[in-house]
Amino acid sequence: MHLIAPSVLAADFTRLADDIAMVNRSEADWFHLDVMDGRFVPNITFGMFIIEAIAKMAIKPLDVHLMIVEPEKYVEQFKSAGADVITVHYEACPHLHRTLQQIKATGAKAGVALNPHTPVSVLEDLIEDIDLVCLMSVNPGFGGQRFIYQTIPKIRKLREMIVTANASTLIEIDGGVGLQNAESLLQAGANVLVAGSSVFSAKDPEATIKALKAFEKNTL
């Protein structure tokens, strides 16, 4: 069964507690938390202080997506703030293997995110060391962007790579995901769907999560 991770970036921060409670009682599996530093991406969001506050209310794992330069400087702090999955960007890590070991040493699951232009083949030699690969299906930095369709063949390639290596790496898709493309993403081999605006801008966010969760992975 695939996982649904609503992206809190699209929540209403004037009533964040209500939105966290909604995700808690919904069929969602994780909270997806987007940390942006204004350097790796052209936008600034929140850091460990807000994540710590969210962790106090959230009853589901926190999937922390670090869109920051030098993420290795903050791994332990994000873990202490409550992160269960810590994802760093391939493009921000000259010593990716070392950073993954550092994340695992904290007890968190280690994820690697790839920008739309980065081929999945760059992960071939360390796929077994990665708990989750986050394929960016928009250019990171903002919610509410249009899905980049070239992500679909990347999912298939990555799925093949994971099967060949006999690894248990999860494939997460982040950006422009909603009811209109969830099924094709799952069919191509995705395991985790991040959904920001498609959930929080919906008339009934809880029902939208339920609908995203209900798609069958029909591989025929």
Q: Which residues bind ligand DX5 (CB under 6 A)?
A: 7, 9-10, 32, 34, 65, 138, 140-141, 143-145, 174-177, 194-198
CA distance 163 to 110: 19
* Active-site position among 19, 37, 131, 174: 174
Distance of closest approach, residue 63 Cβ to Zn ion, in angstroms: 8
CA distances from 138 to 58, 60, 175, 182, 185 (A): 27, 25, 5, 15, 14
Supply the DSSP string of 165-219, one letter for each residue. Answer: TT---EEEEESS-STTTHHHHHHHT--EEEESHHHHTSSSHHHHHHHHHH-----
- Can you tell me whether residue 14 is helix, strand or coil? helix
User: 34 to each of 41, 127, 143, 158, 195, how far by Cα in Å?
Assistant: 11, 23, 10, 23, 12
Whether residue 131 lies in the annotated active site: no
Interface segment toward Zn ion; rule CB under 5 A; list 12-20, 158-166, 173-181, 203-211: 173-181
Pick between residue 139 and residue 167 the one whose CB is nearest to ligand DX5.
139
Q: How far apart are CA 55 and CA 50, in angstroms?
A: 9
Please name every residue paired with 41 in a beta bridge, in sequence order, or none if there are none.
none
Known catalytic membership, residue 174 = yes
Q: From the candidates 19, 34, 37, 131, give the one annotated as an active-site residue.
A: 34
CB of 31 to ligand DX5, least distance (A): 11
* Residue of 86, 174, 189, 199 interacting with Zn ion (CB under 5 A): 174
Candidate residues 19, 29, 34, 91; the one interacting with Zn ion per rule CB under 5 A: 34
Taking residues 35 to 74 in sequence order and writing x for each that binds Zn ion by CB under 5 A, - otherwise, the string is ------------------------------x---------
Please report how close the Cβ of residue 7 comes to Zn ion at its closest, in angstroms: 6
Q: Token pair of 40, please?
A: 């790796």
Output the smallest distance, CB 166 to Zn ion, in A. 28
Residues in contact with Zn ion by CB under 5 A are 34, 65, 174
Which sequence positions are flagged as catalytic? Answer: 34, 174
